[in-house]
Amino acid sequence: GDSVTQTEGQVALSEEDFLTIHCNYSASGYPALFWYVQYPGEGPQFLFRASRDKEKGSSRGFEATYDKGTTSFHLRKASVQESDSAVYYCALGPYTGNYKYVFGAGTRLKVIA
């Protein structure tokens, strides 16, 4: 079945550090790819998406580029802030004949001031 792999379970950074969270996917179709962010006690919040190869999604200084060749959608931010501390989920979404979303295991980001 379809799957999403996030390499890092936890990431600890200092403010203004560069962030990369790796996301690789496997799907039998051509899915949309998403990043969500979850703060303690809340449900995940949509960050951004990309629907086709080479498309870049971005929001709040975060960005990721859909790479069909390497089946990746890595999350990056040039300069993190303490308020970015949260759990980040990569997900793949529906495509023809499939209505299911598949989430990665999540990456817990802790930013130290």
Judged by CB under 8 A, does residue 86 bind other proteins? no
Distance, first Cα to last Cα, the chain: 41
Judged by CB under 8 A, does residue 104 bind other proteins? yes
Select the residue interacting with other proteins from 14, 20, 94, 112 (CB under 8 A).
Answer: 94
Judged by CB under 8 A, does residue 107 bind other proteins? no
Select the residue interacting with other proteins from 73, 75, 106, 109 (CB under 8 A).
Answer: 106
Ordered DSSP codes for the chain: --EEEES-SEEEEETT--EEE-EEEE-SS---EEEEEE-TTS--EEEEEE-STT-EEEETTEEEE-BTTTTB--EEESS--GGG-EEEEEEE--BTTB---EE---EEEEEE-
Judged by CB under 8 A, does residue 24 bind other proteins? no
Residue number with CB closer to other proteins (105 or 112)? 105
Judged by CB under 8 A, does residue 101 bind other proteins? yes
- Binding region for other proteins (CB under 8 A): 32, 34, 36, 41-46, 49, 51, 89, 93-94, 98-106
